[in-house]
Structure 1
Amino acid sequence: MLFNFLVPLSDDFFVFNLFRYLTFRSGGAVITALVISFILGPRIISWLKSKQGEGQPIREDGPEGHLLTKKGTPTMGGFLILIAITVSTLLWADLTNGYVWSVLLVTGGFGMIGFVDDYLKLTQRNTKGLPGRVKLIAQIIIGAAATFWVMQLSPDTMATHLAVPFFKSLLINLTWFFLPFAILVMVGSSNAVNLTDGLDGLAIVPVMIAAVCFALIAYLVGNSVFAEYLQLHFVPGSGELAVFCAALVGASLGFLWFNAPPAMVFMGDTGSLSMGGALGSIAVVTKHELVLAIIGGLFVLETVSVIVQVASFKLTGKRVFRMAPLHHHFEKKGWAEPTIVIRFWIIAMILAIVGLATLKLR
């Protein structure tokens, strides 16, 4: 909004030229989202406590300590994240950029699905919530709409193409298969973050790390000079998503203040589904879907652990892990929660460095 209103006035007021720069507006988006989180956080948490009573339902078959340490903690803290991201993005981004609106569509749409899921869990006092099939269908519909939109905005030479890391000029035209592939990226990323969100602070920091990485990726692939220098595929207009990613970083930092162990609030599916979907949609726009699997490798590991556990139990009647997702396995082994969380953060940082290395290794 500021970009659209103030840049036309830059001929008369030189200072408004600052708003032309993505770096300046991205910095503004981080600070704005952080300030919104700090101001609204205590109020939203108090309101959620007053409405939810016993807080988020805790799995009876989960780690025993959760019934004692996490009972009564309110959920739906993802509202705070969504408000901070949306307001900050609308304030600092170029609102004529279609990519920004497509990512906001996925973020808000998946957030609404998560809200319904959280609401049903709270009102029915169980951990089932929205039926999995209904949730998946809703995600696919939103993902399909966003993908069609992105395909219309993308250059014809890249609209249905997949870029392969480590190969500077390799683009694979997926033709009609790009639609289900892009949907898979968005839905898969959304549910992977959701599975990772099981301990205080565990999911929010890897999301923040991934957002920092994709802020850099969006900035580079949206800049013709840097894209040519690094031999990346240039996607005109995608640089504006650096502002959205910056807002996501600020919102994540602000939420971490309240979600750090012991958590005052859980993000719930409202937060995890929306942030995962956001990362997936940004990866689709910037043509770095495969790099997301590296940068978000922690989310992949958590998801794979669930798939392996279910497959093994159905085929052999035996469990590979003491409990899935993976972080619960280590809880069952006796690891302290802060130990698991911090070590998983370290893994996320290492994978992010590896993912960013693909930008140069070509």
Structure 2
Amino acid sequence: MGVIIYSVLIAFLLSILQGPLFIPILHKLKFGQNIREEGPASHKKKAGTPTMGGIIFITTTVVSILIMNKNINSNVIFVFLCFLAFSLIGFLDDMLKIIHKQNEGLTVKQKSLLELIASCGVAYYSYVHFGTDIYIPFLKISMTLNPIIYILLVIFYMVAVTNAVNLTDGLDGLASSVTLLVMTFFGVICFSWHQYPLSIFCGIVIGTLLGFLKYNSYPAQIFMGDTGSLGLGGAVAGVALVLKLPILVIIVGGIYVIEAASVVIQVTYFKRTGKRFFKMAPIHHHFEKLGWHETKVVSVFCIATVVLCLISFLALF
């Protein structure tokens, strides 16, 4: 337990110390966020806020893993590579947005192709090293899938989770706070299941997010960008894969699911009727349009995540 606490504290210190270093540099390089024209009016003032704060996640995680190297195993390396692969895709997307000076980076086809390539690698490694068993929450049984079906499902799962976390990153501190709670849940599960090295990795992510929230909570001084949100999605999805709990992400990451589902519903409904189902999607913007301050949206979504974590514990124990 002491080693896990050290991992949280080390990552927290590394993360919080990098804020005063990176924020001025990003300002100087004019790596500012471009705000969607159709977005809430209250977000216009955020234009120019430094983005790509996910770089802090990468540097903190790398240094923390090197410091804690005696407690690292192949599972941790696998999850770290899941995190890094999707972070790099997000980094490329963020860079193109900055170069083009608009809220469009990679095209949908380009981004989807890169995510599919990364997901195929994850799926194959997972099949070879972890087998095709997945745990069914509440029923408390494991199901062995056909290898081809397993690989296809993992590919879909990785793309879905990473993009769902990315969609959640639309308000100051929202994705950071929700993912902090989700990773805390998985850290407890790892520890209780004696997956100590993996619980240390969860501790590193927890510490990183705690430090980052100092600068990302309202009013945000820096945004994580796709570099951070896609990377966090890769980390969450990777940890759940190692534990054979990808289905549980639907519950514990319920906010991610709702955010992604709201976009699908909005697009489908608009194509069929020409009208909007929500005032704006993803759904956190819908609540803003209803008059909620973004801090209230973040608080309510965090409360919901805590409840979902408790339900997830019941699903396992």
State the distance in 1 between where 2:133 and 2:14 align.
Answer: 38
User: Amino acid of the residue matched to residue 206 of structure 1?
Assistant: V
| Equivalent position to 1:144, from 120, 129, 154 | 120
Cα displacement string for residues 32-83 of structure 1 (whole angstroms, at most 9, x for unaligned residues): 1001012111101111111016x11110110011112x12201000111221
| Equivalent position to 1:49, from 9, 27, 41 | 27
Q: Is the 8 A contact 1:143 1:183 kept in 2?
A: yes
Counterpart for residue 292 of structure 1 = 249
- In structure 1, the gaps of 5 or more residues are 1-22, 224-237
State the distance in 1 between where 2:70 and 2:242 align.
Answer: 16
Superposition TM-score, scaled by structure 1 size = 0.84
User: Amino acid of the residue matched to residue 239 of structure 2?
Assistant: I
Sort the Cα spacing of 1:94 and 1:141 in 2 relative to 1 into closer, same or farther, 3 A.
farther
Sort the Cα spacing of 1:205 and 1:96 in 2 relative to 1 into closer, same or farther, 3 A.
closer
- After TM superposition, the structure 1 = structure 2 runs for residues 100-179 of structure 1, keeping only pairs within 5 Å, are 100-154=76-130, 159-179=131-151
Given the alignment of the two structures, is residue 335 of structure 1 paired with residue 289 of structure 2, yes or no? no
State the distance in 2 between where 1:255 and 1:342 align.
Answer: 17
Counterpart for residue 24 of structure 1 = 2
User: Amino acid of the residue matched to residue 301 of structure 1?
Assistant: I
Q: Is the 8 A contact 1:187 1:280 kept in 2?
A: no
Sort the Cα spacing of 1:168 and 1:341 in 2 relative to 1 into closer, same or farther, 3 A.
closer
Counterpart for residue 169 of structure 2 = 197
Percent same amino acid at aligned positions?
Answer: 38
Deviation at 1:94, TM superposition (A): 4.5
User: Amino acid of the residue matched to residue 46 of structure 1?
Assistant: P
Deviation at 1:175, TM superposition (A): 2.3
Q: Is the 8 A contact 2:133 2:142 kept in 1?
A: no
State the distance in 2 between where 1:328 and 1:169 align.
Answer: 38
Q: Is the 8 A contact 1:192 1:303 kept in 2?
A: yes
State the distance in 2 between where 1:263 and 1:316 align.
Answer: 37
Q: Is the 8 A contact 1:161 1:174 kept in 2?
A: no
Cα displacement string for residues 305-339 of structure 1 (whole angstroms, at most 9, x for unaligned residues): 00000000011112110000001011111111111
User: Amino acid of the residue matched to residue 232 of structure 2?
Assistant: M
Counterpart for residue 192 of structure 2 = 220
Counterpart for residue 53 of structure 2 = 77
Counterpart for residue 65 of structure 1 = 42
* Structure of higher CA gyration radius: 1
Deviation at 1:165, TM superposition (A): 0.9
State the distance in 2 between where 1:99 and 1:147 align.
Answer: 14
- In structure 2, the gaps of 5 or more residues are none
Sort the Cα spacing of 1:182 and 1:90 in 2 relative to 1 into closer, same or farther, 3 A.
farther
Counterpart for residue 268 of structure 1 = 225
State the distance in 2 between where 1:288 and 1:123 align.
Answer: 39
Q: Secondary structure at the match of 1:318?
A: coil
Given the alignment of the two structures, is residue 34 of structure 1 paired with residue 12 of structure 2, yes or no? yes
User: Amino acid of the residue matched to residue 4 of structure 2?
Assistant: S
Counterpart for residue 99 of structure 1 = 75
User: Amino acid of the residue matched to residue 176 of structure 1?
Assistant: I
State the distance in 2 between where 1:153 and 1:59 align.
Answer: 42
Q: Is the 8 A contact 1:160 1:176 kept in 2?
A: no
Deviation at 1:96, TM superposition (A): 6.3
Q: CA RMSD in A?
A: 1.4
Q: Secondary structure at the match of 2:144?
A: strand
User: Amino acid of the residue matched to residue 152 of structure 1?
Assistant: V
Higher RCO (C-alpha under 8 Å, 6+ residues apart): 2
Q: Is the 8 A contact 1:93 1:240 kept in 2?
A: no
State the distance in 1 between where 2:72 and 2:303 align.
Answer: 38
Q: Secondary structure at the match of 2:41?
A: coil
Superposition TM-score, scaled by structure 2 size = 0.96
Give the number of equivalent residue pairs. Answer: 317
Q: Secondary structure at the match of 1:214?
A: helix
Q: Is the 8 A contact 1:33 1:84 kept in 2?
A: yes
| Equivalent position to 1:314, from 236, 250, 271 | 271
State the distance in 1 between where 2:66 and 2:250 align.
Answer: 28
Cα displacement string for residues 227-265 of structure 1 (whole angstroms, at most 9, x for unaligned residues): xxxxxxxxxxx4421111100000000000000110000
State the distance in 2 between where 1:131 and 1:312 align.
Answer: 23
| Equivalent position to 2:153, from 181, 184, 187 | 181
Counterpart for residue 230 of structure 1 = none
